[in-house]
Amino acid sequence: MLKSEISTKITMPLTSPAFPKGPYKFHNREYLNIVYRTNADDLLKVVPEPLALDLNEPLVRFEMMFMPDSSGLGSYTECGQAIPVNFNGVKGDYLHMMYLDNHPAIAVGREFSSYPKKLGYPKLFVDSDTLVGTLDYGKLRVLTATMGYKHQPLDINEARNEICRPNFMLKIIPNYDGTQRICELVSAQITDITIHEAWTGPARLQLFDHAMAPFNDLPVKEIISCSHIVTDLILPTPNVIYDYLKNN
């Protein structure tokens, strides 16, 4: 194989790459979102500068996503925590942790887009009159989220604004000696989206202590809002907005 051919490959292994080249299109991507209030001091421990927090309103958005039809990636479920922040006057969400059950999506998320993804076993399903989200890490239950199934319509524009907020992620790649080769803050924002339906209703979220999936380090103090949204969308390409190595 020519060197020029190798240089065009997107990832490893060379002859059987972990994921194909995008764009990545999602059909009937289903969200369960629960916004809750937590402790301001706990948020300060996990959000990197230069992102700024509103300590008067210490919020977290828990999100569970079922993606049954994703081009190049297949079918999988994912969940995580997103923290409302501000970067130079731009309001968005810092993606703190994400757990999912699909290797190509983990690989492309970490290597290409800087999403903080780890292997876990989330599920999103309907149990009688309740939308339920669960996450297991190994054999242990880490969280359970519940929401009344399609109780009240949610305004489509409100749903779009919730999904299309800018996301901020931290990309860290080491050198072979363990020093940092890349340490960047990146941002991405969904713009190509169709919302099929959106709902709200009563919700609860239980988080359990786990050393390797520490969701409960940001404990639930009060449920603020929730949403159940079904969309088609295309994942955006992230952009570097801050280089820690150059600004150190």
Q: For residue 9, indicate whether it is catalytic.
A: no
Q: Are 131 and 228 in contact (CB under 8 A)?
A: yes
Residues 6+ apart with CB under 8 A from 198: 153, 154, 155, 156, 158, 159, 227, 228, 229, 230
Catalytic residue among 9, 117, 118, 221: 117
How does DSSP classify residue 64?
Answer: E
Strand, helix or coil at 23?
coil
DSSP states of 25-55 = EEEEEEEEEEEEE--HHHHHHHPPTT-B--T
Active-site annotation, residues: 117
